[in-house]
Structure 1
């Protein structure tokens, strides 16, 4: 029986060898950077010494976790992390779904192709490039926005010294860069809806808005819920590349933009202790893991179709 199963597995590999070769880089990436890194979680409970290695470094228990939780900025960066991620998740999902519905309603194919290309293009621009574009927009002396304000008789604003506006600026930039790419999944879900439902609605005299509200949105809701659940697992992780590229070391903006990732990075850069960073990373992972299970349990209780399992 074992030999038969082994032979069938080998036949499957040979039959679809090109498909397995195609997926091999992704499998190796996940294995190396996700599963093979599990032993390094021990660093979170050690005073890690590069010369001694993981097995011989001194154990310190939960002292590395105290580094973060006893910090005066712990509450601030935690609340900023949650606030920004909730804003990104809510408005990003809302705009992505709206874009998908709009593309589905447009009948001019040439316009759809051009519009989709323009919407997806920002996803391939690095955050470093985006940060320079933003500086060209928001610079105090020569920024385009301030030039427009002064042109119409207003007074220029020192954007890089106003913490209160930056959460919303970051949300807008996040949507501009990623909502178009994110809409692809929802558009694929919409195109998979049985067209006979729309035909029946046409016979009943339903308007476009009524078809969207009664057919499209209810049928893509399970997809929205599942993607939301997956994103909740990263609610304690921020887009470090975006925040560090745009905000950098501008301490004036820290009250509203400093998150756990940037805080730990600065601490690691200043102190040079990887154990502290590992402890906070483990804390973020545990919270995200717990949130996914908790929200999935609530979803399964009230809306089974939107649950992961």
Structure 2
């Protein structure tokens, strides 16, 4: 007995063809228009500047341009590495960035966990706004605020010391204190904004895990330590790896705005970026600055690769690739 197929030409389900990239762009053209300014910015200040890396190996002449200037090999790198302060400046850069990274990451994670534990929505919004606001202040404004705190004659801290019968301190001559002061200001200004990423990762954790732990009698601390922190660890590792690439870059905007040309504080606060900027003002040779910038980028790239290799070997969830 023969059976007729129930599938006919009319009732066979039609398979929708996958839209091409141009169809996708046209269909969501208004959404993609939003990223055009960011793409233009990245292209101009990132990719379009690659040919200018050649300046690091030239005696650059503004009239002859990039492809017409004299090639001098690695002589521009000697400008930095043969100076007496090269080792000190490099160590200052690494030390400050390591302090910023450890203190900033720890504080941002701590703030994110606190925000997640707040039950009052109104207070949570107020606290988040308060913590994020300093990020929108420029370092110039922050430097004047710090002068109001640490000024020898009128600073609030010295006035408090005088009130308690203690001697005033000339903070702007105490080089050993400024790495810690810079770390505190870095945390105050940027930790609130940094906590947003960690808070987003925390809110993405399956809430049923907390409910199950609560049924088993887990306290708030147990849930933080045994659920939140292990599941937050990959995000912490990835962001730390990304920040390692900038470990040889000093925060020029911060340090120059606060320290400026105060030579007394150079032994502990002078970093590669501020040193190159001062040299560029005095010498006026962009080739030297390009050589140092290329050195910073190369070392940062190598650090990211090495750190990612170790992370992938011992903690795969936290690796970049």
Structure 2 residue 188 is matched with structure 1 residue 201? no
CA distance in 2, matches of 1:55, 1:239: 31
* Match of residue 34 from structure 1: 46
CA distance in 2 between counterparts of 1:13 and 1:214 reads 44
Cα distance in 1, alignment partners of residues 257 and 64 from structure 2: 35
- Mapped to 1, the partners of 2:210 and 2:80 lie a distance apart of 54
2:190 counterpart (166, 178, 181) = 178
Which position in structure 2 is the counterpart of 1:164? 176
CA distance in 2, matches of 1:238, 1:118: 27
Counterpart residue number, 2:93:
81
Following superposition, the deviation at residue 8 of structure 1 comes to: 2.1
2:77 is matched with which residue? Answer: 65
Partner of 1:277: 289
Question: Following the alignment from structure 2 to structure 1, what is the Cα–Cα distance between the partners of residues 31 and 256?
Answer: 38
Matched, 1:307 2:312: no
Deviations 1:87-119 (A, max 9, x none): 000000000000000000110110000000000
The TM-score normalised by the length of structure 1 is 0.98
> Are 1:12 and 2:38 matched, yes or no?
no
Whole-angstrom distance in 1 between the partners of 2:198 and 2:210 = 17
> Equivalent residue for 2:9?
none
- The alignment status of 1:107 with 2:119, answered yes or no, reads yes
Structure 1: how far apart are the matches of 2:218 and 2:250?
Answer: 43
- Establish whether residue 286 from structure 1 lines up as the match of residue 312 from structure 2: no
Q: Does 1:136 align with 2:148?
A: yes
**In the TM superposition, what is the alpha-carbon distance from 1:18 to its structure 2 partner?**
1.2
Task: Name whichever of 11-20 and 225-234 sits farther off.
Answer: 11-20
Residue 257 of structure 1: aligned partner = 269
Which of 80, 83, 94 is 2:106 aligned to?
94
Larger radius of gyration: 2
* TM-superposed deviation, 1:19: 1.4
Tell me if 1:234 matches 2:246.
Answer: yes
Q: Give the CA deviation at 1:14.
A: 1.0
CA distance in 2, matches of 1:130, 1:50: 37
> Following TM superposition, by how much is the alpha carbon of 1:199 offset from its aligned partner in structure 2, in angstroms?
0.4
How far off its partner does 1:201 sit? 0.5
In structure 2, what is the equivalent of residue 190 of structure 1?
A: 202
1:158-196 deviations in Å (ceiling 9; x for gaps): 000000000000000000000000000000000000001
More helix by share: 1
Alpha-carbon deviations, 1:68-90, whole Å to 9, x = none?
00000100100000000000000
Deviation (angstroms), 1:10: 1.9
Structure 2 runs not aligned, ≥5 long: 1-16
Q: How far, CA to CA, are the matches of 1:10 and 1:305 in structure 2? A: 35
Alpha-carbon distance in structure 1 between the residues aligned to 2:299 and 2:209: 41
Q: Report how many aligned residue pairs link the two structures.
A: 305
Q: 1:122 aligns with which of 108, 117, 134?
A: 134
Q: Is the partner of 2:229 in helix, strand or coil?
A: helix
Q: Distance in 2 between matches of 1:226 and 1:8?
A: 32
| Distance (whole Å) between structure 1 residues aligned to residue 108 and residue 222 of structure 2 | 20
1:214 maps onto 2:256 in alignment: no
